[in-house]
Amino acid sequence: MHIDALISASWVLTVDPSNTVLRDHAIAINAGKILDILPTQQAQHKYQPTTTTDLSGQVLLPGLINAHTHAAMALFKGLADDLPLMEWLEKHIWPAEGQHADATFVHDGTLLACAEMIRSGTTCFNDMYFFPEAAARAVESAGIRAAVGMIMLDFPTAYAQTPADYLEKGLALHQQYAQHPLISLLFAPHAPYTVSDEPLAQISQQASALNIPIHMHVHETAFEVLSATEQNAERPLARLARTGLLDQHFLAVHMTQLEEDEIALLAQKGTHVIHCPESNLKLASGFCPSARLLAAGVNVALGTDGNASNNDLDMLGEMRTAALLAKGVAQDATAVPAAQALRMATINGAKALGLAQHTGSLEIGKAADIIAIDFNTLEAQPMFDPVSHLVYCTSRNQVTHSWVQGQMLLQERRLTTLDEAELISNARQWQTTIHADVS
């Protein structure tokens, strides 16, 4: 049988419901989807591929899913480090955005972020930023999969002037990309302290009508929760529950401040939590109780947050940090074992974004969103358990190949859809411009 591609490797981590690990298997790809997963020798006799990729000593796994980013902020990497969240935002990031965050900035920053993510093993990301139209154009150029956020704020920015303006632009973008194979849309109200009840009610209504998710920063810091309680006599999560936002389509990002009854509420509502451990650590925002959430049955996925508060988009690093941090917070070495951390970085993100039928695991019929990681290096020796090794002993520099819907985006560490030299040159031009304005 003639097919488009056959990829063979020493290990295949399927991240299927049984977390199946296969030795010396191949993945047959046709029309952008996984047609078959079978032993390599059988595959070589059964299929006649147009292209063959033999990755001996390497591992194939689902492409990683970065469930929370501000991709364009790649151009603010390192701009304001070692500061608490509100000082970082109010004195540095928001003023810089006011000067620079136009459509060109968003397009160029998103392209740079896409390149970093592809080289780090990410094949799908969930974004929240201004000028999502420009971000979507960058995503199309890169060939990566993305959920693009329709941003909402109460106050005017260079992108929109009123909540109605944000909503109108977002809905137009949703209509434009409604049938796109790689780009989906979701609502992205920034946070409870920047979006009031009426716009949230409108978003809730539209999200229900369109059957799309809502993505929002919630309970990121103790200061946020305390301020809301003092002003409104209720915690932000209680307000969101009262206004009807908490359900199986809601993605609550950060969630470092949670009480037991709130964890139970999240589980009851089917709300997803997006854990961003490294950004939370860097901004000293607190610790998301990921082990307790998972034990309660809450779907927990992973995100890096933006490059300005991390300062990378490395989901392999995020996965390791999430596993280690969970053990420290729970004071339990068995908390969030390697297989669970891998699910948080793959299928759990797909579930949160409503994309689990397409991506997040290697199963027949799903999109061929696949990455390869080299276990041949000196630093990778010896290797006893490929899943544990992946989580605790692997760096993004070991990612060798990446495919999204069967299209190769990375081949032996080389970007195939983007020009690396051009991206570096453009980023340096932006560095000069931004540095001149903040000096």
pLDDT of residue 438: 64
Q: How do residues 74-94 score in pLDDT, each as one tens digit?
A: 999 999 899 888 888 889 998
> Are 264 and 321 in a shared domain?
yes
> Are 194 and 258 in a shared domain?
yes
Q: How do residues 348-368 score in pLDDT, each as one tens digit?
A: 999 999 999 999 999 999 999
In a domain, 292, yes or no: yes
> Can you list the positions of beta strands (E) in 263-397?
272-275, 300-302, 370-374
Q: What Cα–Cα distance (Å) separates residue 132 from each residue in 106, 276, 308?
A: 8, 21, 18
433 CB neighbour count, 10 Å cutoff: 13
> Are 212 and 340 in a shared domain?
yes
- Return the closest-CA partner of residue 104 out of 131, 66, 136: 131
Rounded to whole angstroms, the Cα distance separating 349 from 175 reads 24
pLDDT of residue 439: 54
With a cut of 90, say whether residue 397 has pLDDT above it. Answer: yes
> Are 320 and 390 in a shared domain?
no
The CATH number for 75's domain is 3.20.20.140
> Are 345 and 221 in a shared domain?
yes
pLDDT of residue 94: 86
The structural domain count of the chain equals 2
Q: What Cα–Cα distance (Å) separates residue 124 from each residue in 67, 115, 316, 438?
A: 8, 12, 14, 33
Q: What percent of the chain has pLDDT over 70?
A: 99
List, in order, residues 6 or more apart from 36 with CB less than 8 Å away. 27, 28, 43, 46, 47, 364
Q: What percent of the chain has pLDDT over 90?
A: 95
With a cut of 60, say whether residue 211 has pLDDT above it. Answer: yes
- Return the closest-CA partner of residue 128 out of 105, 148, 101: 148
State the residue range of the domain holding 387.
Answer: 2-62+367-405
Domain boundary among 290, 324, 352: 352
> Are 330 and 385 in a shared domain?
no
Which token pair is 308? 């300005």
In a domain, 142, yes or no: yes
> Are 11 and 94 in a shared domain?
no
85 CB neighbour count, 10 Å cutoff: 20
Q: How do residues 280-296 score in pLDDT, each as one tens digit?
A: 999 999 999 999 999 99
Which token pair is 79? 């701009």
> Are 168 and 316 in a shared domain?
yes
- Return the closest-CA partner of residue 406 out of 377, 360, 369: 369
Q: What Cα–Cα distance (Å) separates residue 401 from each residue in 46, 119, 319, 387, 412?
A: 24, 8, 19, 18, 6
Residue 246 CB-half CA count within 13 A: 24
Residue range 323-343: average pLDDT? 98
The C-alpha angle with vertex 146 and arms to 403 and 21, in degrees rounded to 5, equals: 45
Domain boundary among 352, 383, 414: 352
Residue range 111-136: average pLDDT? 98
Residue range 95-101: average pLDDT? 91
> Are 167 and 294 in a shared domain?
yes
Rounded to whole angstroms, the Cα distance separating 40 from 9 reads 8
With a cut of 80, say whether residue 437 has pLDDT above it. Answer: no
In a domain, 222, yes or no: yes
DSSP structural state of residue 310: S
Q: Mean pLDDT of all residues in the chain?
A: 96
- Return the closest-CA partner of residue 276 out of 351, 217, 193: 217
* 366-379 b/e (C-beta count within 10 Å ≥ 16 → b): bbbbbbbbbbeeee
pTM over 0.95: yes
pLDDT of residue 432: 95
> Are 73 and 57 in a shared domain?
no
The CATH number for 53's domain is 2.30.40.10
Which token pair is 86? 């509100």
> Are 322 and 382 in a shared domain?
no
In a domain, 127, yes or no: yes
Token look-up 């136009």 returns 102
> Are 23 and 80 in a shared domain?
no
Residue 110 CB-half CA count within 13 A: 34
pLDDT of residue 84: 84
Q: How do residues 25-50 score in pLDDT, each as one tens digit?
A: 999 999 999 999 999 999 999 999 99
In a domain, 411, yes or no: no
Residue 266 CB-half CA count within 13 A: 29
